[in-house]
């Protein structure tokens, strides 16, 4: 299965805070059977978030965890036009990437996540996601840039 | 400029790679080169050591400690949180440029700052040396670093050899412990093969107990061959950090081959360490700087150390051995008890070094000449030499048992193994103690060994085996008195070392514990 599908894209994320937003994004993973225990997975993400918020300059949030409740490496993309505070110094995040990796996942999958993380540093990549018209466009961009570069 | 970087983060799936990307983009934009090692979860591809050597500076953008940090020792270093590389890669690159420029503009100041920094704080090889400490303290810390790395070789080699003797005695009878050292090898057999050497690599027979004994003995002997090189190498490492390793280890190996013993190894450790330190502080043109750590420093410091040993120490060592040997021969007809005391002093002095070796060779040569005689003086001399050689490790074992607080953690553990090594006539079991605190330990070892040597002569014990310790008891004349003589010497050695260490300056032991803690960290 692929890293991201159009079911794992939330283009109108309007949660009040990052924990609520993470839950909305993680719910899509639970619906798709990629996360077996939603609350357990959220606890793992929150543990990482409490070490240090994963908000990054440029309006990015990357909540993530390696968790035993994850069945396969997945990316959920969320776009929050009004912004959600993710702990970054320069303001709220508009592009949220929830990264879910299984505990002890295979090397290939982790390499894909590594490639994704590298792409997040590229302005063109972020802008194309910001401007994507619909979920299918988001999936196409990620697949083209990260999965089959 | 050329940089190398390491990125890491707690989860190892996101920030690590974003930080690497951030550094790479920033370096490229500023016209520099960088290679980044991502210590994340997607498999580790370590940086090529040559790339590290060629780098002008190192950037750590990390959320968890850098793995194998010591690889980067001696480089200008910028260390920051992993997020810094994501939010401000250009800033980190600019800092690295500044650090590299400062280090190359003022190499002496940089080298001094490097020496002051604790080496390898997390992971990698470590030593605990305070550059601000008094010279005496630093010397002990250098010695102790060497000893800490040597102890595993003493324990592994010594116990394997002792087990080899044990198995040999079970499988080969009373001569087993002698045969096991003579008849088996990892190469050969030579042609012609008059002594019927058996190559246990090609002819190993699992049903033959002696072959197992030989396997244990040969592996143990291989481990023992590293004692002096490792001691020397890590003394040099403590002095000069990584550049010290090559001259130290090579110098120690030559000292070992020349029979210069652990004292020779301490000498090569110091020579190698200071040679490397001196060369690494040379002010060299920028073009040469890249090849300093990989070519110039190891090449010159190793040559200096090896040449100093061979050309300067070689002749006096040989003269010392020859002088002692002829002195001993001159004593042959005289009072045996006095000869026993002198042999004991020699055995206890350098524990396998040149002086010890002269006494031992004197005894084994006599053994050959004595042939089948049952009461020749040569058999008594052999008995005295072996007994005296067992005293130092047994005495240290006893001292660590009765006064554990005087010894560091590693010394106490080594003390446990020293019981077995001493009982097996493996004097090297005491080397870690002697190398860490030479004069106190050597003085106590000589006292006890001398008394045991004299007593064995007094009791008239005989021995027709050149080694084996208690595992050749069937070949010892009056074994109970023999053991009594060893026990008395052991108690004397332990008493003297405890007295000297109690009276000595207090902080020694604490320093040793700190050194060991730093090395273990």
Nearest CB among B14, B25, B43 relative to A64 is that of B14
A chain contacts of residue B25, beta-carbon cutoff 8 Å: 121
Q: What is the distance between the alpha carbons of residues A66 and A47, in angstroms, rounded to a whole number?
A: 11
Which one of B12, B18, B39 would you mutate to disrupt binding with A, by most A Cβ within 10 Å of its Cβ?
A: B18
CB proximity list for B156: less than 8 A, separation 6 or greater = B220, B223
Count CB-CB contacts under 10 A for residue A71.
16
Q: What is the distance between the alpha carbons of residues B8 and B26, in angstroms, rounded to a whole number?
A: 18
Query: Distance (Å) from the C-alpha of residue A3 to the closest C-alpha of chain B?
Result: 14
Does A79 lie at the interface with B, CB-CB under 8 angstroms? no
Q: What is the distance between the alpha carbons of residues A98 and B327, in angstroms, rounded to a whole number?
A: 83
Residue B192: cis peptide before it, omega within 30 degrees of 0: yes
Does A100 lie at the interface with B, CB-CB under 8 angstroms? no
DSSP B244-297: GHHHHHHHHHHHHHTT-HHHHHHHHHHHHHHHHHHHHT----HHHHTTIIIIIH
Residue A143 has pLDDT above 70, yes or no: yes
Nearest to B235 by CA among B435, B518, B508: B435
Q: Are A102 and A86 in contact (CB under 8 A)?
A: no
Does A121 lie at the interface with B, CB-CB under 8 angstroms? yes
Residue A134 has pLDDT above 60, yes or no: yes
Q: What is the distance between the alpha carbons of residues A135 and A77, in angstroms, rounded to a whole number?
A: 9
Q: Kindly state the tokens that stand for A138.
A: 């988001």
Q: Kindly state the tokens that stand for B460.
A: 């008239």
Residue A107 has pLDDT above 90, yes or no: no
Does A110 lie at the interface with B, CB-CB under 8 angstroms? yes
Phi-psi region at B352: left, alpha or beta (left = phi > 0; alpha = psi -120 to 50): left
Which one of A121, A122, A146 would you mutate to disrupt binding with B, by most B Cβ within 10 Å of its Cβ?
A: A121
> Are A121 and B86 in contact (CB < 8 Å)?
yes
> Are B21 and A122 in contact (CB < 8 Å)?
yes
- Between strands A55-56 and A60-61, the pairing is antiparallel
Is B43 in a helix, a strand, or coil?
coil
pLDDT of residue B332: 67
| Residue A33: pLDDT band with limits 50, 70, 90 | very high
Which one of A117, A119, A122, A146 would you mutate to disrupt binding with B, by most B Cβ within 10 Å of its Cβ?
A: A117
ipTM (interface pTM): 0.86
> Are B10 and A62 in contact (CB < 8 Å)?
no
Q: What is the distance between the alpha carbons of residues A99 and A104, in angstroms, rounded to a whole number?
A: 15
pLDDT of residue B120: 38
Query: Distance (Å) from the C-alpha of residue B57 to the closest C-alpha of chain A?
Result: 23
Q: What is the distance between the alpha carbons of residues B159 and B178, in angstroms, rounded to a whole number?
A: 17
Does A99 lie at the interface with B, CB-CB under 8 angstroms? yes
Q: Are B93 and B3 in contact (CB under 8 A)?
A: yes
Q: What is the distance between the alpha carbons of residues B368 and B488, in angstroms, rounded to a whole number?
A: 29
Q: What is the distance between the alpha carbons of residues B111 and B146, in angstroms, rounded to a whole number?
A: 22
Instruction: Please give the C-alpha separations between residue A122 and each of A129, A138, B25, B306, B365, in angstroms, as whole numbers.
Output: 11, 16, 9, 55, 79
Cβ pairs bridging A and B (under 8 Å): 70
Instruction: Please give the C-alpha separations between residue A146 and each of A32, A140, B21, in angstroms, as whole numbers.
Output: 21, 10, 14
> Are A117 and B13 in contact (CB < 8 Å)?
yes
List residues of B with catalytic annotation.
9
Q: What is the distance between the alpha carbons of residues B56 and B77, in angstroms, rounded to a whole number?
A: 9
Residue tagged active-site, from A19, A64, A69, A109: A64
Nearest CB among B12, B21, B83 relative to A121 is that of B21
Torsion sign (Cα): B168, B172, B173, B179: negative
> Are A114 and B25 in contact (CB < 8 Å)?
no
pLDDT of residue B75: 85
> Are A110 and B14 in contact (CB < 8 Å)?
no
CB proximity list for A117: less than 8 A, separation 6 or greater = A62, A99, B13, B14, B15, B16, B17, B18, B21
pLDDT of residue B203: 86
pLDDT of residue B116: 47
**Strand locations in B149-212 (E):** 184-185, 198-199
Q: Are B388 and B453 in contact (CB under 8 A)?
A: yes
Instruction: Please give the C-alpha separations between residue B395 and each of A43, B6, B433, B497, in angstroms, as whole numbers.
Output: 59, 49, 11, 9
What is the CA angle B512-B506-B233, rounded to 5?
25
What is the CA angle B233-B234-B235, rounded to 5?
95
> Are A99 and B86 in contact (CB < 8 Å)?
no
Kindly identify which residue of chain A lies nearest to residue B88, measuring between CA atoms.
A57
DSSP chain A: --S--GGGEES----SSHHHHHHHHHHHHHHTTSBS-HHHHHHHHHHHHHHS--EETTTEE--EEEETTBSS-EEEEEEEEEEE--S-TT--EEEEEEEEEETT--HHHHHHHHHHHHHTT-HHHHHHHHT--SHHHHHHHHIIIII--
Nearest to B343 by CA among B364, B319, B373: B364
- Between strands B33-38 and B2-8, the pairing is parallel
Query: Distance (Å) from the C-alpha of residue B28 to the closest C-alpha of chain A?
Result: 14
Nearest CB among B18, B25, B63 relative to A117 is that of B18
- pLDDT per residue as tens, chain B (521 positions): 999 999 988 778 788 989 999 999 999 999 999 999 998 877 778 888 888 888 999 999 988 878 888 788 878 888 888 888 988 899 999 999 988 888 887 766 666 566 544 443 333 456 655 555 677 778 888 888 888 888 889 888 888 998 998 899 888 887 888 888 888 888 878 778 777 888 888 888 998 999 999 999 999 999 989 999 999 999 999 998 888 999 999 999 999 898 888 888 999 999 999 999 999 888 888 777 778 888 889 999 999 999 999 998 888 888 888 888 888 887 766 688 999 999 999 999 988 888 998 899 888 888 877 766 666 788 999 999 999 999 999 999 999 999 998 888 888 888 999 999 999 999 989 999 998 888 899 999 999 999 999 999 999 999 988 888 888 888 888 899 999 999 999 999 999 999 998 886 544 555 555 565 666 54
Nearest CB among A52, A115, A121 relative to B22 is that of A121
B chain contacts of residue A65, beta-carbon cutoff 8 Å: 11
CB proximity list for B422: less than 8 A, separation 6 or greater = B390, B391, B392, B393, B394, B395, B396, B397, B429, B430, B469, B490
Does A64 lie at the interface with B, CB-CB under 8 angstroms? yes
Query: Distance (Å) from the C-alpha of residue A65 to the closest C-alpha of chain B?
Result: 7
Instruction: Please give the C-alpha separations between residue A135 and each of A14, A72, A140, in angstroms, as whole numbers.
Output: 16, 20, 9
Chain B: residues touching A (Cβ < 8 Å) = 10-18, 20-22, 25, 38, 40-43, 63, 83, 86-87
Q: What is the distance between the alpha carbons of residues A25 and A12, in angstroms, rounded to a whole number?
A: 11
CB proximity list for A29: less than 8 A, separation 6 or greater = A8, A35, A38, A41, A70, A74, A76, A98, A100
B chain contacts of residue A66, beta-carbon cutoff 8 Å: 11-13, 41
């Amino acid at each position: 299965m692929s890293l991201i599908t159009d079911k794992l894209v939330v283009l109108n994320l309007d949660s009040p805070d990052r924990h609520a937003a993470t839950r909305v994004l993680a719910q899509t993973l639970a619906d798709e059977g990629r996360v077996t225990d939603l609350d357990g997975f959220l606890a793992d993400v929150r543990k990482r978030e409490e070490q240090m918020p994963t908000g990054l300059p440029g309006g990015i949030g990357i909540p993530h965890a390696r968790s035993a409740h994850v069945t396969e490496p997945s990316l959920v993309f969320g776009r929050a036009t009004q912004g959600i505070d993710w702990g970054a110094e320069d303001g709220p995040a508009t592009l949220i990437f929830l990264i879910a990796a299984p505990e002890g996942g295979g090397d290939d999958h982790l390499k894909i996540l590594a490639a994704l993380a590298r792409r997040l540093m590229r302005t063109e990549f972020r802008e194309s996601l910001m401007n994507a018209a619909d979920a299918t466009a988001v999936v196409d961009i990620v697949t083209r840039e990260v999965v089959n570069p | 400029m050329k940089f190398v970087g390491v990125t890491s983060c707690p989860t190892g799936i996101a920030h690590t790679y974003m930080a690497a990307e951030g550094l790479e983009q920033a370096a490229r934009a500023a016209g520099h080169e960088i290679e980044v090692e991502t210590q994340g979860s997607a498999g580790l591809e370590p940086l090529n050591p040559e790339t590290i050597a060629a780098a002008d500076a190192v950037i750590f953008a990390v959320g968890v400690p850098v793995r194998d940090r010591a690889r980067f020792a001696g480089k200008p270093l910028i260390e920051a949180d992993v997020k810094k590389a994501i939010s401000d890669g250009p800033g980190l690159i600019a800092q690295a440029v500044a650090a590299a420029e400062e280090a190359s503009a003022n190499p002496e100041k940089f080298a001094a700052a490097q020496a002051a920094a604790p080496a390898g704080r997390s992971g990698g090889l470590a030593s605990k040396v305070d550059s601000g400490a008094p010279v005496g303290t630093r010397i002990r810390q250098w010695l102790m670093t060497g000893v800490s790395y040597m102890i595993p070789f003493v324990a592994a080699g010594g116990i394997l050899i002792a087990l080899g003797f044990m198995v040999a005695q079970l499988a080969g009878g009373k001569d087993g412990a002698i045969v096991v050292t003579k008849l088996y090898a990892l190469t050969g057999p030579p042609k012609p093969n008059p002594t019927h050497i058996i190559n246990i690599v090609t002819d190993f027979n699992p049903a033959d107990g002696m072959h197992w004994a030989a396997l244990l003995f040969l592996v143990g002997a291989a481990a023992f061959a590293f004692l002096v090189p490792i001691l020397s190498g890590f003394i040099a490492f403590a002095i000069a950090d990584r550049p010290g390793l090559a001259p130290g280890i090579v110098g120690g190996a030559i000292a070992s081959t020349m029979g210069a013993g652990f004292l020779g190894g301490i000498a090569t450790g110091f020579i190698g360490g200071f040679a490397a330190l001196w060369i690494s502080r040379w002010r060299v043109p920028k073009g040469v700087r890249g090849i300093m750590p990989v070519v110039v420093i190891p090449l010159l410091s190793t040559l200096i150390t090896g040449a100093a040993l061979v050309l300067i120490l070689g002749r006096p060592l040989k003269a010392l051995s020859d002088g002692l040997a002829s002195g001993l021969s001159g004593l042959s007809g005289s009072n045996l008890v006095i000869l026993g005391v002198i042999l004991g002093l020699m055995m206890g002095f350098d524990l396998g070094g040149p002086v010890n070796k002269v006494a031992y060779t004197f005894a084994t040569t006599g053994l050959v000449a004595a042939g089948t005689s049952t009461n020749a003086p040569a058999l008594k001399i052999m008995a005295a030499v072996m007994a005296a050689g067992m005293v130092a490790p047994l005495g240290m074992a006893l001292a660590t048992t009765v006064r554990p607080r005087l010894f560091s953690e590693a010394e106490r553990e080594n003390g446990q193994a020293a019981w077995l090594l001493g009982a097996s006539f493996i004097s090297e079991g005491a080397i870690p103690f002697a190398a860490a605190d030479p004069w106190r330990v050597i003085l106590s070892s000589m006292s006890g060994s001398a008394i045991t040597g004299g007593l064995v002569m007094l009791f008239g014990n005989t021995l027709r085996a050149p080694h084996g310790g208690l595992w050749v008891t069937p070949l010892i004349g009056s074994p109970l008195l023999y053991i009594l003589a060893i026990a008395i010497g052991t108690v004397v050695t332990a008493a003297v070392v405890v007295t000297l260490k109690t009276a000595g300056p207090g902080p020694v032991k604490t320093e040793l514990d700190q050194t060991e803690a730093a090395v273990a960290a």
